[in-house]
Structure 1
Amino acid sequence: MSKRIALVAGGSRGAGRGIAYALGDAGMIVYVTGRSTNEQTTDNRRETIEETATGVTARGGLGIPVVCDHTNQTDIDLLIQQIQHQHGRIDLLVNCVFGGSESHLPSGTERRFWERPPEHWDAMMSAGPKAYLWTIRAAMPLLQQSPAALVINLTSFTPDQVAGNLYYDLAMQTINRMTHVMAQELAQTTISVIALCPGFMRTERVVDAGFASAATESTTYIGRAVTALIADDDVSRYSGQAVFVADLAKTYHFTDQDGMQPLPF
C-alpha cells in the first residue's frame, strides 16, 4: 500500500500539532488544516498551519497546509476537493478543531450555566461537535476509498464522567455520543470511529498561561496514541468507544517523550 493519507483538522497548534508531528514520524502524508497562517493568525497566536506542515515534512512525512475554517461548509468542501484531486482517499481523519476552551472565550468564564453569555454555547457546540460532524460527513466519500479508514474525534472525558461546566460537558458528551452512533451506522463499512481522551496537555496555550508545571503530558503522547491506533489491524474493536490515551499507552506500550506514562484525569 502507498503512504497513508491523513487529515488533521485543527493542526496549527496544541494536540493537532502533536498528532501531525507523530504522523510525520510515521512517514505519512498529512493535510494540516486550520485558520492560522503565515499571513493571518488567530487568537493572537503565533503558531501556523505552515509551521506544522514543515515540521511534518522534516520528520519524514509530507505536510500539506490547507486553510480551512471547519465551521464553514464551503471551506470544508474545497478542502475535500483538493484531497480528492491530489490523493483520492483519506485513511485517517483526526478532528481536533474544538474552539471552546475557557482560555480564549469572551467574558463569563468559570460561571454556572445560567450566568454564561450565549456566545459560550456557540463557541463550544459550533467549533466542536458541529465542525466534527460536517468534516466527517464531507470526507465520507474519500474515507470509503480507503481499505481501512479511521476517524478519531478528540474529546476530553469518557461518557461516565462530568467534563467541567455544563456547556463544555454537553460539547464533549455530544462528541462521545456522536462517535458511538456513527460507529453503529458505519458497522457494515471498513471505517472505524473512536473518541480519544488525552490528559492535561502542555499545549502552547497552557505553557503561555503559566500552567506547564501542572500539566501531565506533552502533545507527543496523544500523537503516539494516534499512530498506535492507525497501525493496529484490529482497531475496529474500539469503534464507537471513548478511550483514554493513558489506557492505550498500556495496551500499545508507548510512552510520552520523557519515557513516562502519565495517568488520565
Structure 2
Amino acid sequence: MSRVALVTGGSRGVGHGIARALVDDGWTTYVTSRHGTGPDGAIALPCDHTDDAAVAEVFDRIASTSGQLDLLVNNAWAAPKGFGGFSDPFWKRPVDDWDTLIGVGLRAHYVSSVHAARLMTEAGQGLITNISSFGSRGHLHSVLYGMSKTALDKMAADMAVELKGTGVTAISLWLGLIRTELLLSLGIDEFAGFSLQRAEDPEFVGRVISRLAQDPDLAAHNGHTLVTAELGGRYGIVNNDGTPPDSHRGPFGGGPLFPPATEPDTGDRAREDIS
C-alpha cells in the first residue's frame, strides 16, 4: 500500500522540494497552493489556507481518494507586505504583519493538524511535521517570525501529550539555510553569515522527512524539536551534490527548545536530545 503525504504550500521553495523528494521516494504526495500547482508527480490541489472551509475540502478529498493520510508537512507560509518586515524593527511595521506571519505561518498549521489528526488517530498511525527554524532559538528576520516558529515547536510538544497512545507522532523541524532557487539566483556565497555551499537543498529536507516517517523509533521523538541537518547525518542523507549540510544549532545557542531540559544541559546531552 502506497504511503500518502500532504505538503502544504508546495508550489515552490522548500515545500516544492520536499514534495519532489517524497514523490521520488514513492509517496502518493498531495500539495496545496493558492493556484493549485506543484512538482511533477504530485497531486496539486488549490487551497487558500486562510479559508478553513477550503482546508477541510482538501482533507476530504484525500480521505475520499486515497483513504488515508500518513504524513502531514505543515509548510504553508506568507511573507509580510513588501517583505520589509524582515528589515525594519517591529514598531515601524504595520500591525497587520500579524495576519501573514501568525495567521498563515502559525494558524494554518494548527488547522491542518486538526484535520490530519482526525484521519491519523482513526487509522492509529501517522506523522505531523511542522517546518520551523532556528528563529525560535534566537532572533531571525523579525519579532513575529520568531514568535510563529517558537509557537510551532510548542504546538508539536503539546500535541504530543494529547496524541500519546494514538500511534500518531507530532514533531517540529529546525531547518538551516535553504538553497532555494530564489536564494541561488542572487549569486552570493553566503547569507546571514552562513555558507551556501553547506546549506540545505529543499530535496534534502524532503528525504530527511521521508526517512524519519519510516523510522521504527519515530514515537520516541514525539513532541520533540529536531534539526534536519543532524537527522541527515544520523540517517546518512546528503544534499543533491553529495555534501552534508551544516547544523546551525551552535550559532543559535545550543540545545533543543522542546522538550524542556530536565537536567543540567551539556553539549553531549543537547546532541542526544536534538538528533
Question: TM-score range with shorter-chain normalisation?
Answer: 0.7 to 0.9
Residue in 1 that maps onto 2:174 = 197
Q: 1:209 to 1:146 in 2, by over 3 A?
A: farther
1:245 aligned to 2:222? no
In structure 2, how many angstroms separate the alpha carbons of the residues matched to 1:3 and 1:249?
A: 24
**Structure 1 residues 127 and 210, CA, compared in 2 at 3 Å: closer, same or farther?**
farther
User: Among residues 139, 164, 168, which one is paired with 1:162 in the alignment?
Assistant: 139
**Which letter does structure 1 place at the counterpart of 2:222?**
S
For residue 253 of structure 2, what is the aligned residue in structure 1? none
Unaligned runs of 5+ in 2: 249-275
Match of 2:64 in 1: 85
Instruction: Give the Cα–Cα distance (whole angstroms) in 1 for the partners of residues 220 and 188 of structure 2.
Output: 36
Distance 1:95 1:212, change over 3 A: farther
Structure 1, unpaired ranges of 5+ = 38-47, 58-62
Deviations 1:92-126 (A, max 9, x none): 000101213x7x64545411121111122211001
How far does residue 213 in structure 1 lie from its aligned partner after superposition?
5.5
Give TM-score, length-normalised by structure 1.
0.85
Q: Is residue 2:64 matched to residue 1:65?
A: no
Q: Which position in structure 2 is the counterpart of 1:143?
A: 120
Letter in 2 for 1:200: L
> 1:88 is matched by which residue type in structure 2?
G
**Pair 1:262-2:245 in alignment:** yes
8 A Cα contact 2:18 2:203, kept in partner: yes
Q: What's the counterpart of residue 228 of structure 1? A: 211
1:1-265 paired onto structure 2 within 5 Å:
2-37=1-36, 48-49=37-38, 52=39, 54=40, 57=41, 63-100=42-79, 105-157=82-134, 159-211=136-188, 214=191, 215=196, 216-265=199-248
Note if contact 2:3-2:27 (Cα within 8 Å) is conserved in structure 1. yes
Change (3 A) 1:257 1:185: same
Report the Cα offset of residue 158 of structure 1: 6.9
Deviation at 1:130, TM superposition (A): 0.1
Q: State whether residues 89 and 145 of structure 1, in contact with CA within 8 Å, keep that contact through their aligned partners in structure 2.
A: no
Q: Secondary structure at the match of 2:246?
A: coil
Contact 2:73 2:128 in 1 (8 A): yes
Percent of aligned positions that are identical: 31
Amino acid at match of 2:159: M
Q: Distance in 2 between matches of 1:131 and 1:107?
A: 22
TM-score (ref. length: structure 2): 0.82
